[in-house]
Every structure is written in structure tokens, then in C-alpha cells.
Amino acid sequence: MLQAARYLLGSPGASGFGSKSTAEEVTAACPDLGSLTAIITGATSGIGAETARVLAKRGARVVIPARSVKAAEDMRARILGECPGADVLVLHLDLSSLASVRDFARRFISLGLPLHLLINNAGKFSHGQLALSEDGVEMTFATNYLGHFLLTKLLLGRMVETAAATGMQGRIVNVSSSVHGWFSGDWADYLQLVTRRKIPYDATQAYAVSKLANVLHTKELAARLQEMGADVTVNCVHPGIVRTRLNRDREGLVTDLAFVLLSKLLKTIPQAAATTCYAAVHPRLAGVSGRYLADCNEALPSPAAASRSEAARLWQASEDMICASSSQPDKNI
């Protein structure tokens, strides 16, 4: 009850921020990010767009990968309209395609740019029938998790090099959701059964599995980074409930009524982007890794997301999936 009251009131937690804090407010402590390069997936709308806008406003070079280059160019124009001196690059990336992820990583690395921040923000909620990616993976899982797993794997070397060369700690932010707690079964069995059409497809369950994978990925990656001695951290965030394009697609009387009733719980997009920006650049998070954050404060993930053995199991399964899609092995972390 107390937690709900604090959320509704926006009362600050230990970080000094709360549910009503905005992305601009949480980055006020770091007004000049001119030495940073950030890749932000899903930055053509919603939370990702606000994250890109605020980081660019603070001076960071922002790379916007997108399936629709036109949408990314439009976002670049909007940022430049507000911040004429902003450095914004646009590159093509379809996260549901592992070949596209590899192409993007090769192209980015060929530019010779440093990489300080990787914000894995893009999210998809599939509607209607089961859809598989070109690699034969359930589409929501492919886009929300597996594409980001491979992207992180391919770019980590550049992040480690950048941190060593500049003395500036790299940060990876995985955007998950509290919906990850809605799934408590065996994710591997679920993916196998749903892909083979042995069970009915449930879009909400598929989304929950992908968000659970984001949290488990964060846990295992943090442990591996520590073992490597890399000056790179990774944290996972729940942005909060916000009506973005992800759920606006589900128009209808019931959906609209639900959002009216829940209006007091909904965040604005600037508020929803706050935890991502906090995790990406706030000084308080220096050296902090493997955490799950909500409302700019540390929170507890679901029991299913807290298992190191399940995180390691997911990692191996992910390695197997990406290896099956390529004749050449990807660089190991």
C-alpha cells in the first residue's frame, strides 16, 4: 500500500527521484555529455525517442538504428530542430533479423567511432497470429531479446576498448518491463511449444517471456563483465506504464476504457524515459551493475528473473540460436 502511494505521489526514493521524475530532470546532474557516443534502439518514437532527444540535448552523439530509415531521419530532423548542433547518425537495423544485426554491427564498427552507451530499448508486441522471424524464432522474442543479445555481443568489444582508452566507464541499459513477472513457467519449453504450434499463441505471454529474457540477460552479462574485468556495466529498467505506440496499436473500446481508468497510473513519455536515462548517465550508477531499476531506484525482479542458473541457461540457448543462423561464429564474450 505504501509503495502504491509513493508511486501515485511521485515521492522520491533513495536516488532522489521517483515516478514523476522526467528524463531531463535526472540528467541535470550531467549537463555536458559531449564526449559520449550512444546507440539507442527503438528511438524513432515513444520512450526511445525521448531518450535520444534528451541525451542529444545534453551533447551526446546519438546513433539511431531503425528498420525504417525514413522514420529515423524524421527523428533526427526533430532533434536537430531543437538542438541544431546535435550529432545524430542514422543506420539501418532490423532487430528481428540476425543478419541485419550483424550488418549493422559491422557498419558501425567500420565508422571507427567510440561507444560508451548501448541502450537496448526497442520493443514489439505482436498482434494476432503467431509470426516467426526469418531465423525461425517467435517474432516478439526475436525482436525484443535475441536481436539485442547479438547486438550487445557484437558491440561489446568496442565498448570495452572505448572504456580502456578513455577511462570512462561504459554502460549498457536493457529496457524490460514489470510484465516479465507475468510468466513463471519454463521459457525454453514455452518457446519450443509455441514455435511448433503445439499450444495456442498468446501475445501477452510471448511479450512477458521476451521481457523476462531481458532481465536474465542483464544478470548473466553483469557476471561475465565482472569476470572479464571490463569497465562496462549493465542494468535493466522497467520504464513504467505509459501509452506508447506499443500499446496504442491495441485500439478499441475496452482498451480505451482501461486507459481512462488507469490514467492516474500512466506516466508521460518524459517520465517513462527517466529511468533509462538515469541508468545510462547518472553519476550515482557508476560501478553499479546487474540491477533491476524502476522509477529511478533499485527494485526487485520476479523470482524467475533472479536465478543465475536460469540466466546461464538462457545465455547458452541464445548462443545456440545465433550460431544456427550463421556459418561464421560470432565473437564470444
41: domain CATH number is: 3.40.50.720
Position 292 in a domain: yes
Position 263 in a domain: no
Q: Give this prediction's pTM.
A: 0.92
Q: pLDDT by residue (tens digit) across 174-216?
A: 999 999 999 988 999 999 999 999 999 999 999 999 999 999 9
Q: Measured between alpha carbons, how far is 271 from 283 in angstroms, rounded to an integer?
A: 19
Position 171 in a domain: yes
Catalytic positions, written as ranges = 201
Residue with cell 558491440: 155
The three three-digit cell numbers of residue 173, written as one number: 541499459
Angstrom CA distances, 160 to 151, 175, 199, 241, stand at 14, 21, 42, 33
Q: How many domains does the structure of the chain reveal?
A: 1
Domain that includes residue 311, residue range: 21-241+269-321
Closest CA relative to residue 115, chosen from 32, 2, 1, 36: 36
Position 296 in a domain: yes
Position 11 in a domain: no
Local confidence pLDDT in tens for the 333 residues of the chain:
445 445 455 678 999 999 999 999 999 989 899 999 999 999 999 999 999 999 999 999 999 999 999 999 999 999 999 999 999 999 999 999 999 999 999 999 999 999 999 999 999 988 779 999 999 999 999 999 999 999 999 999 999 999 999 999 999 999 999 999 999 889 999 999 999 999 999 999 999 999 999 999 999 999 999 999 999 999 999 999 886 554 444 455 555 555 555 556 789 999 999 999 999 999 999 999 999 999 999 999 999 999 999 999 999 999 999 998 776 667 656
Longest Cα separation, the chain:
55
Contact between 40 and 277 (Cβ < 8 Å)? no
Position 229 in a domain: yes
Closest CA relative to residue 140, chosen from 192, 211, 89, 74: 211
Contact between 201 and 130 (Cβ < 8 Å)? yes
Contact between 213 and 141 (Cβ < 8 Å)? yes
Q: Measured between alpha carbons, how far is 297 from 291 in angstroms, rounded to an integer?
A: 10
Residue with cell 536515462: 277
Provide CB contacts within 8 A for 223, sequence distance 6+: 290, 308, 311
The three three-digit cell numbers of residue 10, written as one number: 511521485
Position 188 in a domain: yes
Q: Measured between alpha carbons, how far is 100 from 123 in angstroms, rounded to an integer?
A: 16
Per 3-state DSSP, what percentage of the chain is helix, strand, and coil (rounded to 5)? 50, 10, 40
Position 228 in a domain: yes
